[in-house]
Amino acid sequence: MKKISKLLFLLGSIVLLGVSCDKEDTLDEGFVDGGTQGLSKYVITVTPVGTTGIADILLTADRLDQGSITTKGNGKEQDGSYRYYLTHKGRFFSLLYGQGNPGAVTTYRFGPDGKLVKASEFQTETVQLFTKVNDELLLMKIPRSGNETAGMYRIDALKSRIVGRDSVNIVKLAANGERAHFTWATQVGNKVYAPYMSIKGCCSDAFGTVYPDSTWVAVFSYPELDLEKVIRDNRTSYLGGYFNNGLSVTENGDAYGFSSAAATNSGVVTTTKPSAIVRILHGTTEFDKSYFFNVQEASGGHHISTHTYLGDNMFLLMMYAQSGKVSGQLKMALANVNTKTFTWVTGGPAEITSTSAAYNNNTLSTDGKTGFIGLNTTTGSWVYKIDIATAKASLGLTVDGGKITAITKVDY
């Protein structure tokens, strides 16, 4: 039965995605994989002020700890209302969110001269999840209502073309009368772990749930994308959120899950569980029942918004500034998941309205002692440097003419 379901999905995908590559990435010019020249640059994506039809402008910088850049007369314009970004194998991918329609994926590379150039463009479905797995990108289209099938697409990161498709029935996966809505996916060993929240998908309350106090992670084989099992827990709520990665892997292979404890029913937060961090030990497919980091308690009542891994068991957390709230202004903190210590970061802006996207904020400096994050306020946008040892932030690159949406380090 599963084979028939997959065949029908593949036939439908061929109709929707018959031309997977309009222009294959062939800009070899002496290098194939990212990092072969031992060089890197940063791509800062900025939503410009007072423009229409432009999602973002791509700006580049050699460093993040000083200087300034501006959108005025600079950068590469990205069309559409929303764009999302990812880097892999020396490529920078710009994904158009088509709001239900197919979206363009534009691939950029840094040439030997250090200039950002367009390498290819192809069409996929509009997706709500994208992540790196081996030498590929894994994209997922996750319907919030109606259609019960989530589509999965494997992209060859070097050639920028679709090399495989699959699907999963998200109503059957949830198995509780609601539907599984994947919040993100992470490669853990040779498998893909995909946390999900249970949502109604109907009744003018699509993202509401009557199951607010549970955690789920679907485990898929790769590249087959066969569902192997679901990891369950009930000590906190779902991991991550909409376009918000909730699972990261440390150097020893352990996976840590982050819950905002923000599940709602009819717009009201109903979870009774705390905002917390849970763990899946390396080589296992179960939550470690001996580990539970109650971040809400450690922070004095604050909820986690997003997380970014800085290395050596240390995470940069964006916390909701107001105790007990799951929206609004943000504050920075550091959390050591090994020692279960929580420290507020000092030196940042008093009021942070938004930050660079946590799912691709891979801008840890080469010394392993600092991290960088883009911070937006009502008065401007800057990149801040975080000293991990002292939990102090200091002003870095100034960004003029727009709001920072993502910062991505690209090796070439």
Task: Compute how many other C-beta atoms are within 10 angstroms of the C-beta atom of residue 19.
Answer: 9
Both tokens assigned to 212: 């607010």
How do 54-61 and 40-48 pair as beta strands?
Answer: antiparallel
Query: Is residue 136 one of the residues assigned to a domain?
Result: yes
In DSSP notation, 326-356 reads: SSS-EEEEEEETTTTEEEE-BSS-S-B-EES
Domains identified in the chain, total number: 1
Query: Is residue 177 one of the residues assigned to a domain?
Result: yes
| pLDDT value of residue 269 | 97
The residues, any chain, with a CB within 8 Å of residue 15's CB and separated by 6 or more, are none
* Cα 379 from Cα 26, distance rounded (Å): 43
Q: Which of 333, 272, 279, 271 is nearest to 302 (CA)?
A: 333
223 upstream amide cis, omega within 30 of 0 = yes
Kindly report the CATH number assigned to the domain that includes residue 180. Answer: 2.40.128
* Cα 207 from Cα 266, distance rounded (Å): 9
| pLDDT value of residue 395 | 97
Query: Is residue 27 one of the residues assigned to a domain?
Result: no
| pLDDT value of residue 201 | 96
| pLDDT value of residue 373 | 94
The residues, any chain, with a CB within 8 Å of residue 216's CB and separated by 6 or more, are 180, 195, 196, 197, 198, 230, 231, 232, 238
Range of the domain at 201: 127-282
| pLDDT value of residue 30 | 44
* Cα 219 from Cα 391, distance rounded (Å): 35
Per-residue pLDDT of the chain (412 residues; tens, 9 = 90+): 444 344 333 333 333 343 344 455 555 444 445 555 678 899 999 999 877 778 899 999 999 999 999 999 999 999 888 899 999 999 999 998 866 677 788 999 998 888 999 999 888 877 889 999 999 999 999 999 999 999 999 999 998 888 999 999 999 999 999 999 999 999 999 999 999 999 999 999 999 999 999 999 999 999 999 999 999 999 999 999 988 999 999 999 999 999 999 999 999 999 999 999 999 999 999 999 999 999 999 999 999 999 999 999 999 999 999 999 999 999 999 999 999 999 999 999 999 999 998 876 665 666 779 999 999 999 999 999 999 999 999 999 999 999 999 999 998 8
| pLDDT value of residue 34 | 55
The residues, any chain, with a CB within 8 Å of residue 22's CB and separated by 6 or more, are 120, 121, 122, 123
Query: Is residue 226 one of the residues assigned to a domain?
Result: yes
| pLDDT value of residue 128 | 87
| pLDDT value of residue 80 | 84
57, 132 Cβ separation under 8 angstroms: no
61, 89 Cβ separation under 8 angstroms: no
- The radius of gyration of the chain's CA atoms, rounded to the nearest angstrom, is 21
Residue 339, strand partner residues: none
Query: Is residue 274 one of the residues assigned to a domain?
Result: yes
372, 386 Cβ separation under 8 angstroms: yes
Query: Is residue 171 one of the residues assigned to a domain?
Result: yes
For the entire predicted model, the pTM comes to 0.91
The SS3 call for residue 165 is strand
